[in-house]
Structure 1
Amino acid sequence: MSTEVARRIPLIIGGKENTTRAQVAVNSHTFPEESIHTFTSFDINDTKLYRELFDSANKGFEEWSATPYNEKIKVFQKAVVLLKERKDEFFKSHHEIGGPSWFAGFNVDGTVDQLEEYISQMSNPTGVLPQSLESKLAITIKQPIGPVLAIAPWNAPILLAARSIAAPLAAGCSVIHKSSEKSPLASYLFVKCLHDAGLPKDALQLVHVAPQDNPQFLNEVLSSGTIKKLNFTGSTAVGTKIATVAANYLIPYLLELGGKNFSIVRKDADLDKAVGNIVWSSWSHKGQICMSTDKVYIHEDIYDEFKERLQKVAPEVAKDPDYSICQRDPVFTKKIIELVEDAVSKGANILYGNIDKEKVLKTNSVPPLILEDVNEDSILNNTESFGPLFSIHKYNDEAQLIKDLNVNSYGLKATIWSQNILEAIDIAKNIETGAVHINSSSVHDEVTIPHGGVKGSGQGRFNSSWGLDEFNIIKTITLN
């Protein structure tokens, strides 16, 4: 990667890199006032630039959708090779946002897995022959839906950008990818991998947008008639706004949004396994994962024992430097302080950790926390913290607990800890979430398993055949 690119991250439209437009600073996670590089901002008032973007997306769709599946596979295979060769560059892009090395590795390896899984799917049959009483022959075929707008967040910048791009490309769509203003380098590196692997230049565009320009950009792009579907990964609040704009133009969407993920620890649970796993599932990557565990419900018969084990395990886990949160955007830090202060003012007790407001605001670093006795009226009770904290709660009526949990507006992940697997499966069926993991972490996303939520946690599914189907339409053809 050239020094110029490292300093000024370009737009890529029609295969051409552009750094001549306004530059927006991307600041260091360690020293928030220091700029590590800039990104070239899309001019939201430039009608010619929009036309170039849309013309390229339409041209790219025509070319890429008509490309034989075996040629598509070759592009993805070459991209895998380039990803592995450029692993150090991707690591650096992840470290810039404060990501630990293990999570950077998870991002790169996960991206390789994504591409390899789609490679295995692209040669599958694209249609079936349903029975018909009125036709001699009926055929249904899958066809790519058209140009896709893909928007990814910063917290897992390599994997989530790659996922948003790879799924529609594997289906045969062209993609306009809008990076996160906090992690544009990761998106640039992945787009370059695909272009260098032989992807038609018009099949994938890269745009960066200044934060204040996002609403107008989204409206202009969706109102153009070019985009046939969008996918967005991020907060429920932003996802709701995006869905509202998309609905105005009848554009379908795949949304992978936030979660208020919970764990149920039954009285027959293996506590040796449960306690450490739950702490890791909450504090891992500083709580900056949509799948992080937020709330833990423990049966009253084992509550005291769980709590005792928790107080022994938590200090050991907290020794790892990965568990102090460090953000470039102080808004996240202030939000966590507000959530904790509100909970404490309404009767909550900080079971582990302490939060020195002055120190936290000065260092922009939040220590890992565990709360107890969080009141139902607390904002934290129904708000995703996106930080290294979780609360523990006591229950005795399992059926009532499930009813209460299903009222929650989120529905991404749940876990159940129990040695009675059959009963745990029955409970899992009644929980309103996109996934339930029995005796394992809520942080669970693998390429062969569908991933996504329900209710306020989104709709649609990424990964494997489910990810491909999101960007296909089903066309029926009958013959007489």
Structure 2
Amino acid sequence: MVNFMNLNKSYINGEWTEGQTGRRYDILNPYDGSVINDMSIASLQQLEEAFVIAEKAQKEWAKTSAETRRDIILKALEFLKNNREEIVPLMSRETGGTLIKSNVELQLTIEILEEAATFVDEVYQVREISSAIEGKVNHIHRLPLGVISSISPFNFPMNLSMRTIAPAIALGNAVVHKPDIQVAYTGGNIIAAAFEYAGLPKGVLNVIQTDLTEIGDGMLTNPIPKLISFTGSTPVGRHIGEIAGRNLKRVALELGGNNPFIVLSDADVDRAVDAAIFGKYIHQGQICMCINRIIVHKDVYEEFLAKFVERAKALPYGDQLDPKTVVGPLVNERQAEKAEQFIEAAKNAGNTLALEGKRIGNVITPTIFRDVRNSDAIAQAEMFSPVVSIIQADSDEDAIDIANDTEYGLSSAVFTTDIERGEQLALQIDSGMTHVNDQTVNDAPNVAFGGNKASGMGRFGNPWIVEEFTVTKWVSIQSKYREFPF
């Protein structure tokens, strides 16, 4: 059993290191505001040193065998499994997520490690390509990329951190990782503890507990990392993209979403309601993949609306540590106030409430707007809360057009009893992922996970992540003297 409360520092070069700023940050339980622990804030100088350390460590780590890398990945996996009973409630306390959500997140994190262990030998693979030049052999090598700069958000912090960290390490890279300090344990220090337990060499993984006041763009502008991996908002993603483009760095960006859930005229309404309730209210709607707009064919609109409202009205809310709770608190007061502002602005704009929620501390209970037009502000903004818009479509084709009328393109869903047509329509939705007869919140480490348009660049998941986190090199070997024209 590990006392995670002792790990309230950054993890740099294999050591738990006090921050040099002299500042500390109180990590709060979003439900009652109680202090879980305080965290020592690292300095910009410590961040810069971490990149230098990672660059040096990566050169040695890249020489290790696939078996060594696999063993360490599996040992870190063992740590998470052995400490599940301590990790799940701490994750709930820190993120505001329910016990259901925390168990789901830990399981997804475990699956990422399991999958990473399967592709450790993808690096240093060599393909032989034929040549038109006599006596020439072409070899295509796959090599580690180098150092990766990793930035993760507050909502699914362990999962969204590990999906960069585990593949990077498995493929011979080093990582400097900055979690959102609101969720310092879940997003960083538990992961660092797992790899420390696993025997990962010093400097291969560095977890920096700091804030933007201290480091500014230090995770982005440092010349050492070859790739910036970021999950978060689209405005920040655009900023990262600009800096990365200027410095010719690769990016893996998973950004915002305005995810449509489409109910066609032939859908099984009861099953669609079941799926929509989960896809909207898991983690209070604070997942980039959560349903943001529900688009329903006019023939089943009133039936779906009535059943959805009744189900949402009955969802238990409150303390996330109560096993019965479905809707817990938003992560902080700022997010709760932002949700309230969206609701008030929509009401002032004339949008109609089918279910009016209430605010209790940082808890926002389910809030449903009906007869929303897709052009309304409430439909075009990413809610990241238990607030949802329900839009009526005149036809199935109209539903697809409405779904595509957004700058985002992360996840989407289509409900229909015609499976074949459902897949055809899925291909017409401009999003990175579409789920037929399911909801929008789906993830797995062996699928192509990522968004289109303003929802991101690149794809996570095996084998796509292998391409993202390695570099391809052509080596040609001339075994026979080559005649040149001059």
Does TM, normalized by the shorter one, top 0.5?
Answer: yes
Whether the 8 Å CA contact 2:31–2:361 is kept in 1: the answer is no
Aligned partner of 1:114 in structure 2 is 112
Q: Secondary structure at the match of 2:451?
A: coil
In 2: Cα distance, 1:462 partner to 1:119 partner: 15
Partner letter of residue 418 of structure 1?
Answer: T
In 2: Cα distance, 1:25 partner to 1:7 partner: 14
Shift of 1:8: 6.1
1:249/1:319 Cα in 2 relative to 1: closer, same or farther (>3 Å)?
closer
Matches within 5 A, 1:46-61: 46=45, 49-50=46-47, 52-61=49-58
Shift of 1:425: 1.3
1:404/1:302 Cα in 2 relative to 1: closer, same or farther (>3 Å)?
closer
Residue of structure 2 aligned with 1:351, choices 342, 348, 354: 354
Shift of 1:478: 1.9
Shift of 1:226: 0.8
In 2: Cα distance, 1:295 partner to 1:284 partner: 15
Shift of 1:2: 6.9
Aligned partner of 2:131 in structure 1 is 132
Aligned partner of 1:440 in structure 2 is 438
Q: Secondary structure at the match of 1:202?
A: coil
Matches within 5 A, 1:42-441: 42-44=42-44, 46=45, 49-50=46-47, 52-96=49-93, 97-124=95-122, 126-134=125-133, 136-186=136-186, 187-218=188-219, 222-318=220-316, 322-355=325-358, 360=359, 363-441=361-439
In 1: Cα distance, 2:325 partner to 2:407 partner: 30
Whether the 8 Å CA contact 1:347–1:375 is kept in 2: the answer is no
1:212/1:124 Cα in 2 relative to 1: closer, same or farther (>3 Å)?
closer
1:340/1:223 Cα in 2 relative to 1: closer, same or farther (>3 Å)?
closer
Shift of 1:280: 1.4
Q: Relative to structure 2, which stretch is displaced further, 18-27 or 435-444?
A: 18-27
Whether the 8 Å CA contact 1:410–1:454 is kept in 2: the answer is yes
Partner letter of residue 444 of structure 2?
Answer: E
Q: Relative to structure 2, which stretch is displaced further, 312-321 or 187-196?
A: 312-321
In 2: Cα distance, 1:433 partner to 1:91 partner: 32
In 1: Cα distance, 2:153 partner to 2:331 partner: 14
In 2: Cα distance, 1:51 partner to 1:464 partner: 31
In 2: Cα distance, 1:436 partner to 1:337 partner: 30
Partner letter of residue 443 of structure 1?
Answer: V
Deviations 1:63-83 (A, max 9, x none): 111111111001111111111
Shift of 1:454: 1.1
Shift of 1:277: 0.9
Whether the 8 Å CA contact 1:157–1:183 is kept in 2: the answer is yes
Gaps of 5+ in 2: 319-323, 479-486
Q: Secondary structure at the match of 1:393?
A: strand
TM-score, reference length from structure 1: 0.92
In 1: Cα distance, 2:14 partner to 2:183 partner: 21
Q: Secondary structure at the match of 2:155?
A: coil
Partner letter of residue 140 of structure 2?
Answer: T
Shift of 1:89: 2.7
Shift of 1:412: 0.5
Aligned partner of 2:460 in structure 1 is 462
Whether the 8 Å CA contact 1:229–1:252 is kept in 2: the answer is yes
1:51/1:314 Cα in 2 relative to 1: closer, same or farther (>3 Å)?
closer
In 1: Cα distance, 2:370 partner to 2:343 partner: 11
Q: Secondary structure at the match of 1:129?
A: strand
In 2: Cα distance, 1:343 partner to 1:166 partner: 42
1:426/1:328 Cα in 2 relative to 1: closer, same or farther (>3 Å)?
closer
Shift of 1:479: 2.2
1:2/1:318 Cα in 2 relative to 1: closer, same or farther (>3 Å)?
closer
In 1: Cα distance, 2:100 partner to 2:218 partner: 35
Shift of 1:50: 4.6
Q: Secondary structure at the match of 2:200?
A: coil
1:365/1:314 Cα in 2 relative to 1: closer, same or farther (>3 Å)?
closer
Partner letter of residue 235 of structure 1?
Answer: S
Shift of 1:214: 4.3
Shift of 1:390: 1.4
Whether the 8 Å CA contact 1:325–1:388 is kept in 2: the answer is no
In 2: Cα distance, 1:299 partner to 1:318 partner: 29
Q: Relative to structure 2, which stretch is displaced further, 268-277 or 399-408?
A: 399-408
Q: CA RMSD in A?
A: 2.1
1:415/1:2 Cα in 2 relative to 1: closer, same or farther (>3 Å)?
closer
Partner letter of residue 215 of structure 1?
Answer: G
Aligned partner of 1:27 in structure 2 is 28
Gaps of 5+ in 1: none
Shift of 1:406: 2.4
In 1: Cα distance, 2:292 partner to 2:91 partner: 24
Whether the 8 Å CA contact 1:177–1:207 is kept in 2: the answer is yes
Partner letter of residue 188 of structure 1?
Answer: N
Shift of 1:95: 1.6
Q: Relative to structure 2, which stretch is displaced further, 424-433 or 395-404?
A: 395-404
Partner letter of residue 18 of structure 2?
Answer: T
Q: Secondary structure at the match of 1:12?
A: strand
Partner letter of residue 299 of structure 2?
Answer: D
What is the count of residue pairs matched by the alignment? 467
In 2: Cα distance, 1:65 partner to 1:169 partner: 9
Shift of 1:375: 4.0
Deviations 1:393-448 (A, max 9, x none): 11123334433432411110110001111111111111110100000111100122
- Which structure is higher in helix share? 1
